[in-house]
Amino acid sequence: MKTLIKSGRIVTAVDDYTADILIEDETISIIGKMLDMEADVIIDAKNKLVFPGGIDPHTHMELPFGGTSSSDDFFTGTRAAAFGGTTTIIDFAVQTKGESMTAGVDAWHKKAEGKCAIDYGFHLITTEFEDGDEREMYQLMDEGITSFKLFMAYPGVFLADDA
């Protein structure tokens, strides 16, 4: 699918100008002045700013805590984010005590699957850390989980005092 954004104001770190933007599927393919090409969708952005969607790197969708759960699930939370201009979230997945880190990430993927209006990724809250777990961390990094949160608070919930 091709989308052509016409006559939008583009602001970069070094410039401020009016141009057209051709997006093919989900990728910006051309930025130029007065582009003359066919597109499935044409958006008139005259006198409007055009900028990429925001990234919210700290969200809690369906996060259980203290006998309750955060109010947004992946369906409602990602739609609210989209209405605010956010196109990607990085949510906190949780390793359940007694389970592997991978199982925690898999559980969060199941919560998100088919419900998200925008792109998403995960941080992982680890609740245990045993000898050899660093190998599993490297495997998760290969899958895109590149940040891990280790709490030294919340005894009985998230506390990891053996790391």
Tell the CATH topology of 2-44.
Answer: Urease, subunit C; domain 1 (2.30.40)
Residue 73's pLDDT is: 97
pLDDT on residue 45: 98
CB-count burial class (<10 Å; 0-12, 13-18, 19+) for 124: buried
pLDDT on residue 23: 96
Strand duo 68-69 + 64-65: pairing:
antiparallel
DSSP for residue 163: -
Question: How confident is the prediction along the chain (163 residues), in pLDDT tens digits per residue?
Answer: 999 999 999 988 899 999 999 999 989 999 999 999 999 999 999 999 998 889 999 999 999 888 899 999 999 999 999 999 999 999 999 999 899 999 999 999 999 999 999 999 999 999 888 888 999 999 999 999 999 998 877 666 666 555 5
**Intervals of CATH 2.30.40.10 along the chain:** 2-44
